[in-house]
Amino acid sequence: MAVREYQHFIDNDWRAVRTGAFIARENPATGETIARFAEGDASDVEVAVVSARRAFDAGPWPRMSAQERAAVLFGLADLLEAELQRLTDIEIAEVGKPRRFVEGDIGAAVAYTRHAAGMAAQAHGQVFTNLGPDKTGLVIREPVGVVGVIVPWNFPIEIMAKKVPFALASGCTVVVKPSEMTSGTALEFARLAAKAGLPKGVLNVVTGRGLEVGEQIVRHPGVNMVSFTGSSAVGRRIIAASAETTKRVTLELGGKAANIVFDDANLDDALQGTLKSIFAFQGQCCVAGSRLLLQEGIAETFAQRLLAHTAKLKLGDPRLRETDLGSMISAPHTDKVMGYVKRAARQSEPLIGGEAMAPAAGLTGNFVQPTIFGDVAMDSELFTEEVFGPVLAITRFKTNEEAIDLANATRYGLANSLWTQSLATSLTCSRRLKSGIVWVNTALDGAPQLPFGGTKGSGFGRELGEAGFEDFTEPKTVILATAHYAPAFPGAAQ
């Protein structure tokens, strides 16, 4: 693949970077330079925000009918689908994720965009005719304004599609800051949106690093809302910075999901779900099931079967369809994950894996073997910290009560899975698990209609579904009085 070079995308056009500097991106799997992204700064953010502000305050987009906005978004979804393979190739090269998983991500982005288009067409307010004989109340939902969207590196186009189409559907305008490592598909998304008929200034992408671009978006007084997905540490900084301008913030942060397998579970299903929940995209996923809780009756059998299946997973070139695990996102992240593994190995050897390696000629050392540790204590680092790699910690439990307590023993609250054939266990545990998402007999699952987001240290606000749409709107109350107005001060009315 030739080296791709991108400027910022502002006002439906490529804009030269003001500093003249670029950030080179190397393919984490091969080490080849594959792209150069404009290294933006505060001046580039200013241009983008002014453009988005102008498009919102005086442009046609917020004033279009819902059907007109929907037509543009349906057109965008069609263009994304038509370029699925090109977008897939770009994301594989930048992220290192295996081909079949990236194709799923692009497909999800198409589905989210189509669903947002449908929500635009169906958006409505409320009418209250029960306020009395002479009053009618209206609740109107209006777009919040200019939205700053900050997207991480692990699911670049999918997470962008969880946010941007819904913001656009509501009538907002948007400034996107993608990760400086994986900006390609965000820029291509904006290009295709312009091709679909999105007016100038409605969707802008400024590339660069967090402090120079992301923080400037958060602090800018012309931005009304920030939607962020990323680390908990950065999320806390965004909350503090947003206070300067009292803007709305939604955060989707880290997670430490428990994957609970009860004695009565269908073990074949639970096994496949466990493999997917921790090893899909090398565990670099906020909802990864990195804590496997096994009830004692099936613990030994399940663990042995899991090890046997894990040994068959193919670590290798992410461009190949048969590859199960690709590369980590970067050498520094590989080192970070291996730090967790090495510290855990001081206490007990991993049951399988535990090494970083180059799996074939022409590939880098940014590949971490699928790794499993057994009998992990709940006060250990592997149990409490988000490793963000293909590292699984097994902990046993006896009772349902103990399983719930173990699953909730984390500062995070994004997702959990449980495997059981008991309806009572399913309902009881789903209610008591403190997470925004609970999967029963499935894992890493979702749909455009269903809200996605967490509680506790995993953030607040929702993506997707009606809740994800409404987060980009402001409710306005209008009271219409049809009778003569009764004066509050009768003497002054004479």
Mean pLDDT by 10 residues, the chain (494 residues): 93 90 97 98 97 98 96 98 98 97 97 97 93 96 98 98 98 98 98 98 97 96 98 95 95 97 98 98 97 98 98 98 97 98 96 97 98 97 98 98 98 98 98 98 97 97 96 97 88 74
**pLDDT for 311:** 98
419 and 298 belong to one structural domain: yes
Tell me: do 281 and 298 sit in the same domain: yes
CATH code of the domain containing 362: 3.40.309.10
Q: Is 285 a catalytic residue?
A: no
Whether residue 429 lies in the annotated active site: no
Q: Indicate if 208 and 354 belong to the same structural domain.
A: no
In a domain, 54, yes or no: yes
Query: Which pLDDT value is given to residue 1?
Result: 64
Let me know whether 204 and 288 are in one domain: no
In a domain, 451, yes or no: no
At 191, which CATH number? 3.40.605.10
Question: Residue 468 is inside which H or E element, if any?
Answer: helix 465-470
Same domain, 305 and 237: no
Lookup: tokens for 116: 């947002």
121 and 269 in a common domain: no
* 365 within some domain: yes
Residue 463, domain member (yes or no): yes
Contact 458, 252 (CB under 8 A): yes
- Identify the active-site residue in 39, 103, 180, 286: 286
Parent domain of 281? 258-440
Supply the pLDDT for residue 18: 80
How far apart CA 60 and CA 195 sit, in angstroms, is: 17
Residues 216 and 271 in one domain: no
| Token pair recorded at residue 253 | 């942060």
Q: Give yes or no: residues 171 and 287 share one domain.
A: no
Please indicate, yes or no, if residue 452 is contained in any of the structural domains. no
* Residues 432 and 465 both lie in one domain: no
CA contacts within 13 A on the Cβ side of 439: 25
Is residue 484 situated within a structural domain?
A: no
What's residue 494's pLDDT? Answer: 67
Q: Do residues 284 and 209 both lie within one domain?
A: no
Count structural domains, the chain: 2
Alpha-carbon span 343 to 408, nearest angstrom: 24
In a domain, 93, yes or no: yes
Going by C-alpha positions, the residue among 337, 320, 229 that lies closest to residue 278 is 337
39, 158, 215, 252: the active-site residue: 252
Instruction: Show Cβ contacts of residue 298 under 8 Å, excluding neighbours closer than 6 positions.
Output: 261, 262, 263, 265, 267
Burial tier of 361 (Cβ tally within 10 Å: 0-12, 13-18, 19+)? exposed
Looking at residue 17, its pLDDT comes to 82
One domain for residues 290 and 432: yes
Q: So what's the pLDDT on residue 492? A: 79
The mean predicted confidence, pLDDT, of the chain is 97
In this prediction, residue 296 carries a pLDDT of: 98
| Whether residues 238 and 340 fall in one domain | no
User: Is-contact 398 407, C-beta < 8 A?
Assistant: no
Q: Is residue 51 part of a domain?
A: yes
Consecutive H or E run containing 159: helix 156-170
CA distance 388 to 153: 12
Q: What SS3 state is found at 400?
A: helix
pLDDT recorded at residue 491: 81
